[in-house]
Amino acid sequence: MATKKNVVSIKQDIPEQLETLRADVATLAETIKAQTKTSIAEKTATVKGATSETADLAKARYEEIAAKAETRIREKPLTSLAIAVGAGVLFGALSRR
């Protein structure tokens, strides 16, 4: 059975224990915040790297297609002109509707 002395001692310890608990919670919150920032920074770097790589691949593919188109136009200018005129007529007919 708790004596009066024990109860008084426990009551005196409660504020100290609450302060310790508050400090522990604050430390935990700061740790979680730091880990979250680190994780976000890592994910951002990964996404930037992937985006940059994809953009480089798309640019290379575009340059390749443009070079092929230019070569075809130089090799067969009349055919290219006929295709362009046909596409223009088709586009014009579709846009009238």
Per-domain boundaries in the chain: 4-96
SS3 call for 15: helix
> Among residues 75, 24, 39, 95, which one has the least CA distance to residue 87?
95
User: d(Cα 7, Cα 15) in Å, to the nearest integer?
Assistant: 14
- Whether the CB-CB separation of 45 and 52 falls below 8 Å is answered with no
User: Averaged over 62-71, what is the pLDDT?
Assistant: 96
User: Averaged over 19-35, what is the pLDDT?
Assistant: 95
50 confidence band (pLDDT: 50, 70, 90): very high
